[in-house]
Amino acid sequence: MKLLPLTPDGQTPIRVLTIAGTDSGGGAGIQADSRTMAMLGVHACVAVAAVTVQNSVGVSGFHEIPPQIVADQVRSVVGDIGVGAAKTGMLASTAIIEAVAEVCGEVDIGRGHAVPLVVDPVCASMHGDPLLHAEALDAVRHTLIPIASLVTPNLDEVRLITGIDVVDDASARRAAEALHGLGAQWSLVKGGHLRTSTASTDLLFDGQDFHEFTSPRIDTGNDHGGGDTLAAAIACALANGYPMPEAVAFGKDWVTRCLAASYDLGAGHGPVSPLWRLH
């Protein structure tokens, strides 16, 4: 695959902001975002929204950062350093979602603004452990998704947000239309969790046209952090000036390579790995 250009030594690289939760096991969340950004030659800025207690087996707890502190992190970073794109991950609560939406509008991030925003609407871990309070789903639908340049739910999140169970191409298209109808500029329905298919097809929709991105299904149980890695790679491509379809294609190629390089870690699911770039 063609990688993003690297900034010459001594020059300031492109900056991308992730607003998300931590992963104490290092496989997902802000850790996965930062690792991907570094491997793509981008300087990662972070606004921590929650701290999780987790390992390869599951999430046993999380602590929310006060909403004002989350917003202040965004305000501080953008006001001084500036960013070319941003993404969200685990935001945990209605109050944090509302604070993030408000500050993003203030600092020119999101749909209709200068800086694109990739919204990964994290609702639960891959083990099914909740990472979002149940009552916050309405805030995801009506506050977070409407500011998204792109929204990237997995199939479980699609079902929670839209009520649509994606089982084939027709239901994937209905889901993409429903997500776009909630206000996202572009919606991406990811097919990685559709285990009945021999390929992994992601469907991108802008309200008029559909774009399909298909890759071979990688036979591995080590896919922790795959959604974070995809969204982070797309954000990096957008910050480099890629149009949305090309940015999604880049992210799809990147996460497929990372899945192929995934490794065992602990007693549960290991992480996808961007370390393949070093070989």
Q: Which domains does the chain have, with CATH numbers?
A: 15-272 (3.40.1190.20)
Nearest Cα residue to 123 out of 171, 185, 193: 193
Per-residue pLDDT of the chain (279 residues; tens, 9 = 90+): 999 999 999 999 999 999 999 999 999 999 999 999 999 999 999 999 999 999 999 999 999 999 999 999 999 999 999 999 999 999 999 999 999 999 999 999 999 999 999 999 999 787 778 889 889 999 999 999 999 999 999 999 999 999 999 999 999 999 999 999 999 999 999 986 576 677 899 999 999 999 999 999 998 999 999 999 999 999 999 999 999 999 999 999 999 999 999 999 999 999 999 999 998
The rounded distance, in Å, linking the Cα atoms of 160 and 103 is: 26
- Specify the pLDDT at position 196: 66
Location of structure tokens 């993030």 = 100
Cα–Cα distance list, 214 to 202, 222, 251 (Å): 6, 20, 12
DSSP state of 244: H
The secondary structure of residue 214, as a DSSP letter, is E
| CA distance readout (Å), 158 to 187, 222, 239 | 11, 22, 26
**1 burial level (CB within 10 Å; 0-12, 13-18, 19+):** exposed
Residue for token pair 């639960």: 124
* 151 contacts 179 by C-beta, under 8 angstroms: yes
- Can you give the C-alpha Rg of the chain in angstroms? 17
* Euclidean distance between CA atoms 262 and 59, whole angstroms: 20
How many other C-beta atoms are found inside a 10 Å radius of the C-beta of residue 200?
A: 21
- The pLDDT score that the predictor gives to residue 197 is 72
Cα 20 to the chain's mean position, in Å? 9
Q: What local confidence, expressed as pLDDT, does residue 195 receive?
A: 61
